Structure 1
Amino acid sequence: MKLARVSAVLVAVALAPAVLLPSSASAAETTDGNQPLGVSAPDAAPEDEPAPAASASTEQEDRAAAQAILSDPASGPHLREAAGKALAGTAQDVRHFLESGQYSARDTDDRIRVSQIIHQGGPAVQKAGQAAMNGTIEDVRQFLAVGQYVARESDDRLRVSQLVEAGGPGVRAAGLAALEGTIEEVRQFLEVGQYVARESDDRVRLVQIISAGGPAVQEAGKAAFNGTAEDVRKFLEVGQYAARDSDDLVRAAQIESRGGPEVKKAAAAAFNGTIQDIRDFLATGQYVAAAKDKAAAEAASAAKEKAAAEAAAQVQPAGGVQPASLTASVAAAAAAAAPTTAAPSAVATTVASGSALAATGAGPALPWEVGGAAAALGLGAAMVVTARRRSADER
């Protein structure tokens, strides 16, 4: 009995510390902290490691930067293409584009841009652009930023000088004034001033053409003058030539109608050819043909005169006897001075002389020669008749 009681006391003594100590520790920890005893607190994250939320923010910023490059109107085709491919890929693709890919794409676009400027530019721009293309990427960008504009100014001034040399009075005056001014004045002349001055010159030229042209040219020129600057320009470039063709054809027809055989022949050949053949006929051909016609007419006249002279020489008899025409004149004069008994013979002689005159061609064509000869012969005949009377009286 006593042994059982002793054993129970020993067990209670042994278990008392184990029960009391956890209770006091639990009360202490509950008072000092928020965690109950026996529960471990979670480990704190290191301060130098980025949180997952921060990593997502960086990717969004990269994509926004790549999208801005893609949307920029100043971006070249290769740069936009590279940005689009990066945005379609992973975050690493976007980061690679921003760190290196965009720069190689920009270099390609810059060189393409220089090539385009060279193709469209003047001599100075082409020379400076080609030098940049043969250099580094810095040379290319320097040309795009500065060099192209310096070279373009040189080309613009050269262009104004060419317009001044080829233009009319108005263009020359306006162009020289621009060359003495700033580059802005030079470009204003190239963009606006030259066209205003050219319109003035065109209208002056139009008036000159109207003044010197034929009916068709004058009609078409007046219609253009009353129209727009484009109408004037069209007349100068096309219309005046069509109207001049019409005038030339009319003039050639008029010359043909009043010309001789050679002129008609030359005109017909021109009408069967081109408009240039017509102009050649008007410029030289008509005069060559007219000279031939004149020479032929002179030759025909000379031939007629020679034939008449030969015919007159053929009626002169051998032995120095006077031609029948002269004999008839003498007989007529003698008949006028002789007695009545001689009248029948004189009449017969006169009739015969008429036939002789018709045969030899003498007559109205040479009235003054015949009249003078008849007067002289008539005087001689009177003297002959008088002498004969004296001889008869003496007998």
Structure 2
Amino acid sequence: MRPTRAAMLLAATALTPALLLTAPAFAADGSTSTTPVVTTPATACPDVSAGTGTPTDGLTDDQVRAAVEDILTDADAGTGVLREANKALSGTAQDMRDFLDTGCRLAQAEDDSVAVAHVLAVATQNGDKRVAKTANAALDAGTPEALRAFLQTGYARAQAEDDSVAVAHILFVATQNGDKRVIAEANSVLDAGTADALSSFRWTGYRLAQAEDDSVYIVRMLTDPHISDAMYDAIQAVLDDGSPEALRHFRTVGQYEIDN
């Protein structure tokens, strides 16, 4: 076992309760966590990071107006940017220049702050500690640069770390429960180690793999020679339903509510 895998499994073990029947993103009642936010940082404002002067240097008033109007039609423009762009268009030529030179960047930071706060809320709900930590750091800094850096690069890196821990936890739980399909897929994903593979398994693949293992577990219950009629009927009903949520609920909760 590679050291990195061992470290992740060690972290996952600390998260695991005594009753090893559930794992991240798929609760015992069949519910799921909220899929992490997919961010598309707004890019409507002029970029002057690599140049000197201001965005409106050398532009005529007509060109300045056209630039503001272009921002209003930009699909990536956020609520704050659109609000301030409309204000600028309702003002003087200097108002429009001020918006392009400084106001747009500040309004974009406002939109970025809202986006980071949304990421933080979802990460907190999902227990994604690394994302929550880096999002809080960006919000505490509060600068346009810190907010933008988190949305453009920091968030993806942090989410991949949290997904790694979650998948390792899923693997640990599946190993205790003997869930062969989940074990095989979790190991494959951890071996691949890519952000896309980790995210896809955590939020989609795991649910389907767990359903296969739950189905096998429930079918084996039918081999019990002492099974009651009520349990037999309940098993047939859940197998006829066949949904991952129904299978998971029956295995972790429903079977214990039926007289055997």
- Range of TM-score over shorter length: 0.5 to 0.7
Q: Which deviations, in whole Å up to 9, do the C-alpha atoms of 1:2-27 show, x marking residues without a partner?
A: xxxxxxxxxxxxxxxxxxxxxxxxxx
Unaligned stretches of 5+ in structure 2?
1-45, 47-58
CA 1:251/1:141 → structure 2, altered by over 3 Å: closer, same or farther?
same
* Residue 240 of structure 1: aligned partner: 206
Is 2:101 the counterpart of 1:145? yes
Q: Would the aligned equivalents of 2:112 and 2:148 in 1 still touch at CA under 8 Å?
A: yes
> 1:155 and 1:277, CA in 2 relative to 1: closer, same or farther beyond 3 A?
closer
Q: Which of 178, 184, 188 pairs up with 1:219?
A: 184
Tell me the CA shift for residue 202 of structure 1.
0.9
Q: What letter corresponds to residue 157 of structure 1 in structure 2?
A: S
Partner of 2:230: 262
Q: Is the contact between residue 110 and residue 140 of structure 1 (CA under 8 Å) also seen in structure 2?
A: no
Deviations, residues 169-205 of structure 1 (Å, cap 9, x unaligned): 1122222333344432332222222222111111111
Query: Residue 122 of structure 2: which of 157, 166, 171 is its match?
Result: 166
Structure 2: which amino acid aligns with 1:172? Answer: A
Question: In structure 2, what is the Cα distance between the partners aligned to 1:111 and 1:177?
Answer: 32
Letter in 2 for 1:192: T
2:250 matched to 1:281? Answer: yes
Q: Please list the CA deviations of residues 95-143 of structure 1 after superposition, one character each: whole Å capped at 9, or x if unmatched.
A: xxxxxxx9686366235223135x4222321221222233344433332
Indicate if the aligned counterparts of 1:169 and 1:201 stay in contact, CA closer than 8 A: yes
In structure 1, the partner of 2:164 is: 203
User: 2:61 touches 2:93 (CA, 8 Å); kept in 1?
Assistant: no
Which protein, 1 or 2, shows the higher relative CO under an 8 Å CA cutoff with sep ≥ 6?
2
- Which residue pairs with 2:43 in the alignment? none
2:71–2:85: 8 Å Cα contact kept in structure 1? yes
3-state SS in 2 of match to 1:197:
helix
Structure with greater proportional helix content? 1
1:183 aligns to what? 144
Cα separation, 1, equivalents of 2:64 and 2:162: 48
State the one-letter code of the partner of 1:246.
E
Paired residue total = 190
Identity %: 24
Structure 1: segments with no counterpart, 5+ residues = 1-73, 75-101, 294-395
C-alpha change, 1:152 and 1:242, in structure 2 (3 Å) is same
RMSD value over aligned CA atoms? Answer: 2.7
CA contact (8 A) 1:110 1:141 kept: no
> 1:230 matched to which residue of 2?
196
- CA distance in 2: counterparts of 1:159 and 1:280, whole angstroms: 34
The answer to whether the 8 A contact 1:114-1:133 is kept is no
Corresponding letter in the other structure for 1:134: S
Aligned with residue 111 of structure 2, among 155, 162, 170 = 155
